[in-house]
Structure 1
Amino acid sequence: MSLIKPKNDQLNPRTTTYEFMGPPGALLVTVGVPLMTYLLYFGCSESAGACPPSYVFSPSLLAARVQETITDRQWWASLWDTEAALIYLAWYAFCVVAWAILPGDWVEGLTMRNGQKKKYKINGTPHSVYYTNVSSTHCLCLTAFSTFLLTLGITTGYIIRYGPESFTFLYDKWLGFVTASLIMSIVQAVAVYAGSYREGALLATGGNSGNPIYDFFIGRELNPSIGSFDIKSFNELRPGLILWVLIDISMVCVQAARRGGWENVTWSMWLVLVFQSFYVADGLYNEPAIFTTMDITTDGFGFMLAAGDITWVPFVYSLQARYLVFRPVELNIASTVGILAVNALGYWIFRDANGEKNDFRNGKNPKNLTYMTTERGTKLLTSGWWGRSRHPNYFGDLLMAVAWSLPTGFETPITYFYVTYFAVLLIHRQRRDDENCEKKYGKDWEKYKQLVPYRIIPYVY
């Protein structure tokens, strides 16, 4: 018997450690994500009595309502809406067509462990930005941002022509759109999992456990593609993120239609729309930054990312705007200014911290930041934002999340679900990153942690 392992086993080693508590946890999240998406609607909607806090503090009451609901045949029938499904399918197709026809450059991502570099199409705005990979810098334009601008242009023209009442269908057919997006995510997850067994597929190091439940959830193949169309990066940037903004716009339209015009839309609703739209626009404008994230470089594409990108993001992150439709909150000037300040502070920390990191990666150090050099030759920042904590950008993200929820007031904690969820998500990502860095840098990482002891929030965590 030969002791030499096949080449494919060396390229795609078996996963030996689990995340999310292994297959049971993966199954729980696979079932829990759709369930929670629906639960946030049925527990926080006009029919539920505007997010009654009693559900939060009384699990037995919530369980009784869930049991009563799921035994109702009309409830099951209400989850499907043929028109909503067709509209959603058309929306996804529009995003694919926009990716294909809008002009843009093809750029290389980071070097993968098979020695190859995957190419991504980036096209969009008429200005140029800089994208840096391991070996070179390219001047290019952005695809996702141009798709965003095109979508906003078409949507604005449609609303101007037909009035706000014409764009309330995302609110009116909410359940149908949720179901359609879930079906899309399941179909994609099944397809890429089956396709990962073809010869030559590059698998994710964390998704090749051999357990189908776990690998289906976490993502078995690293970069599933159809020709030059990369499914993972496409889903990360386009259909879910842009739909999130369209949902917020639809919520503004519903409030305008109900309250007798745009001038009667509450400041709380405008704040949510502006904050979240700006966040999405900023992410799409800085599109190239995604190619160095763990989602692209490390994680496989499975149900976790599929459902997260195209169901969870648009239909859960827009909870505040949907709440303000049926529970308008009037803000005074002081409250409005205060909320604006919280969001501005969060964005400044988020963007300035990322700017320091990107400048340093590109060989620039305009702030003369200090750093330590590891045995591998890698330089780690030890001053500036990155000297205050190991993930200062996460702190900025959390502050913005709080600012998005503050316009809903304090009548119910349900509208702060996003803040709680996002904190858990960022802590999980931070711990994953620490584990990877510990493996990568060894003793140097322990030295670095002594220099930068705080994980996300200075002097707190």
Structure 2
Amino acid sequence: MQRVRRSSYTGSTASLHRRSSISAKDVVVIQQTIKKQQKMSAQVVAVLLTVLPVFTFVYLYSISLHAGQLLPTLKSLFFQWPFLFQCIPPLFDLIAWKFTTVLFGLQLIFHWVLPHDTVTVISSAGDETKFVNGFFSCLLLCLLYVLGASTGFYRGDLVLVHYNSIIMCLAIICVIVLLYLCVCYHYGDGNNVTTLSELYFGIETHTRILDVDVKHFIRSRMVFSLWPLLLISSIYHQFSIQGKISKSLFFASVSQALYVLRLHWHEDLYLNSIDAKRTNCGFYRLWSDMVFYPVIYGSPTLTLAQTSSTRSFLTNAILFFVSTSSILTTAMIDRQKYEFRKSKGTLKFGGTDPFFITAKFKMDNGEPGANLLLGSGYWAICRHPNYLSEAVTFATFCAFQGFPSVLSYFPVIFVIGYLLARLIADESRCSIRYGQYWQQHCSRVKYRILPGFF
């Protein structure tokens, strides 16, 4: 791909003059209908506030003690004392609290002390420069963990053995952070939390504590640093118990480590994602990143580390190839769109000008803005090509386990459901924001995620 100097509007001239089968009046009706459907009642929010924490700990209990087998899990929870309270991990596990405290402390130090890379966050209101060092902080953290385990300072399988309690520590910290934000909002000069919906979804996009972006710090420094530590700890655990490392655990750990390293190496892509730009910092985001995602991401590893069963070398090699290919494909797809928007449409694809539509809209402050809707390269295949490769990645992560239970495949079921929900939300948001321009883009790129089908 090469860059050439030309107007960002020239590639979209043809599309702006083409007529759509949907009139401007129809677009307005569609936008109004979508806005009404997006509202969530207080009753639904209350159910989510209750169900999400309960499900998180029930699933963690099932995976860690029963390998996700449904019948033994239900039998223990409903027919054995102390019933559902068995799901609550030990609260006063000092080792878990020490680990969590050290993890937070080291990541804060690394955030402030380690050299930073400069990345650009693209916005219609003006590009913003941010400083990141997530890749090197994660790498250094993993090396320090291995060094401490190798010198006998602590057991190498510390994270795995105390994982349930570590999740409990993170849950308590999540609640404390949420209460702290509510108090700050109440006594501050800015917004105030007045409804359950605001508590659940949040009222502020870029919340900062000690000049640290809370959302980015938790997701980058906690979730995607705890995950590789769990992988390392699982290998230590299985080797200490069985005297060897199963082929499935080895291949699965390497593929998941590559996934984490890809996320850290391309930290600028995450900062330019919809989640980073538009999701508010409320209970949903805090609990998901600090508690729910570590449980979901870690469940295949927890299952593999505590079993002696393994798949054949050929099966593991095929799954590893598929997972690695899908990880790299996702990175290339996201990178292509980011570089195109960063260049303001001046980036050539294979020596030719890309097709794009300059979609004009009104920003939240009422000022006019414009975004480029790319219809070339990977983004000519379908409107969300990265969603398919992401789903394939998590499918392979689960497939390394074989089929110990239905619940062991919940991560890929959840990811597919989440991506479909986000696809619907993205399509609705774009329809509301861009109107006729989005209809033109959809007529050019017909399929959402599966070319020829959907």
Give the TM-score category using the shorter length.
Answer: 0.7 to 0.9
Query: Counterpart in 2 of 1:83?
Result: 95
Structure 1 residue corresponding to 2:419, chosen from 420, 426, 430: 426
In structure 2, the CA distance between the partners of 1:231 and 1:213, relative to structure 1 (3 Å rule), is same
Matches of 1:27 and 1:67 in 2, distance apart?
28
Alignment of 1:121 with 2:131, yes or no, is: yes
| Correspondence 1:29 to 2:9 | no
| Cα distance per residue 1:368-404 (max 9 Å; x no partner) | 3642324526432223321111111111111111110
Question: What corresponds to 2:147 in structure 1?
Answer: 157
Rounded to whole Å, the distance in 2 between the matches of 1:161 and 1:242 is: 21
Q: 1:146 aligns with which of 128, 136, 140?
A: 136
Aligned to 1:180: 169
Structure 2 residue aligned with 1:100: 112
State yes or no: 1:373 paired with 2:357: yes
Residue in 2 aligned with 1:213?
A: 196
Tell me the alpha carbon deviations over residues 187-230 of structure 1, each in whole angstroms, 9 at most, x when there is no partner.
112222332345554x6xxxx8x653211111112211134222
How many angstroms apart in 2 are the aligned matches of 1:42 and 1:233?
28
Identity %: 19
Matching of residue 287 in structure 1 with residue 267 in structure 2? yes
Q: Which amino acid aligns with 1:155?
A: Y
Aligned CA distance change for structure 1 residues 335 and 77 (closer, same or farther; 3 Å): closer
2:203 match: secondary structure: coil
Tell whether the 8 Å contact from 1:248 to 1:321 is kept in structure 2 after alignment. Answer: yes
Deviation at 1:32, TM superposition (A): 2.5
C-alpha distance in structure 2 between counterparts of 1:420 and 1:72, whole Å: 24
Compared CA separation, residues 185 and 20, structure 1 to 2 (3 A): farther
- Aligned partner of 2:161: which letter? D
- The residue aligned with 1:194 is 183
> Any idea what the Cα deviations from partners look like across 1:278-297, whole Å, max 9, x if unmatched?
11111111111222222222
Q: Which residue of 1 aligns with 2:231?
A: 248
Cα distance change, pair 266–228 in 1 and its aligned pair in 2 (3 A)? same
Query: 3-state SS of the aligned residue for 2:108?
Result: helix
Question: Are residues 52 and 145 of structure 1, via their aligned partners in 2, closer, same or farther at CA, if it must alter by over 3 Å?
Answer: same
User: Is the 2:76–2:83 Cα contact (8 Å) retained in structure 1?
Assistant: no
SS in 2 for 1:380: strand
Q: Which amino acid aligns with 2:300?
A: Q
Which residue in the other structure is 2:58 paired with?
A: 39
- Note if 1:51 corresponds to 2:68: yes
Q: Is the 8 A contact 2:45 2:196 kept in 1?
A: yes
1:244–1:313 Cα contact (<8 Å) kept = no
- d(CA) in 1 for partners of 2:89, 2:410: 27
* SS class of match (1:166): coil
Q: Distance in 2 between matches of 1:79 and 1:326?
A: 23
Residue 307 of structure 1: aligned partner = 287
Q: Cα offset for 1:312?
A: 1.8
Aligned partner (choices 269, 273, 276) of residue 253 of structure 2 = 273
- Count matched residues: 407
CA-based RMSD of the aligned residues comes to: 2.8
In 2, the alpha carbon distance for the partners of 1:341 and 1:359 equals 27
TM-score (norm 1): 0.80
The alpha-carbon deviation at position 305 of structure 1 amounts to: 1.4
Instruction: Give yes or no for contact 1:168–1:250 (8 Å, CA) kept in 2.
Output: yes
- Change over 3 Å in CA distance of 1:360–1:432 after alignment to 2: same
Deviations 1:294-316 (A, max 9, x none): 22221210111111112122222
The CA deviation at 1:405 is 0.8
Q: Per the alignment, in what secondary structure is the counterpart of residue 412 of structure 2? A: helix
Instruction: Report the AA paired with residue 131 of structure 2.
Output: K
Closer/same/farther in 2, CA of residues 90 and 105 from structure 1, 3 Å limit: same
Match of 1:127 in 2: none
Cα gap change, 1:98/1:66 in structure 2, threshold over 3 Å: closer, same or farther?
A: farther
**Is residue 320 from structure 1 mapped to residue 320 from structure 2 by the alignment?**
no
Write the letter of the residue equivalent to 1:358.
Y
Query: In the alignment, is the contact (CA less than 8 A) between 1:389 and 1:456 conserved in 2?
Result: yes
Tell me: CA distance 1:351–1:77, structure 2 relative to 1, closer, same or farther (3 Å).
closer
Distance 1:365 1:30 in 2: 47
Report deviation, 1:111.
5.3
Looking at structure 1, the residues matched to 335 and 431 of structure 2 have their Cα atoms a distance apart, in angstroms, of 24
The corresponding residue for 2:318 is 338
**Relative to 1, partners in 2 of residues 1:447 and 1:192: Cα closer, same or farther, differing over 3 Å?**
same
User: For residues 449 and 366 of structure 1, do their structure 2 counterparts lie closer, same or farther at Cα, with a shift above 3 Å needed?
Assistant: closer
SS at match of 2:155: helix
Q: CA deviation at 1:29?
A: 2.6
2:213 aligned partner: 230
Name the SS of the counterpart of 1:222 in structure 2.
Answer: coil
Query: d(CA) in 2 for partners of 1:213 and 1:161?
Result: 49
User: Following the alignment from structure 1 to structure 2, what is the Cα–Cα distance between the partners of residues 117 and 357?
Assistant: 15
User: Quick one: distance in 1 between partners of 2:47 and 2:136?
Assistant: 37
What SS does the corresponding residue of 1:379 show, helix, strand or coil? strand
Measure, in 2, the Cα distance between the counterparts of 1:198 and 1:118: 29
CA distance in structure 2 between the partners assigned to 1:354 and 1:74 by the alignment: 42
Change (3 A) 1:379 1:230: closer
Residues of 1 paired with 2:87 and 2:225: CA distance? 29
The whole-number CA distance in structure 2 between the counterparts of 1:286 and 1:224 is: 22
Q: CA deviation at 1:72?
A: 7.4
In structure 1, distance between residues paired with 2:224 and 2:331:
19
CA distance in 1, matches of 2:235, 2:97: 22
In structure 2, runs of 5+ residues without a counterpart are: 1-34, 361-369
Q: Is the 8 A contact 2:357 2:441 kept in 1?
A: no
**Deviation for aligned residue 1:321:** 0.8
Q: Secondary structure at the match of 1:459?
A: coil
Distance in 2 of aligned mates of 1:460 and 1:288: 32
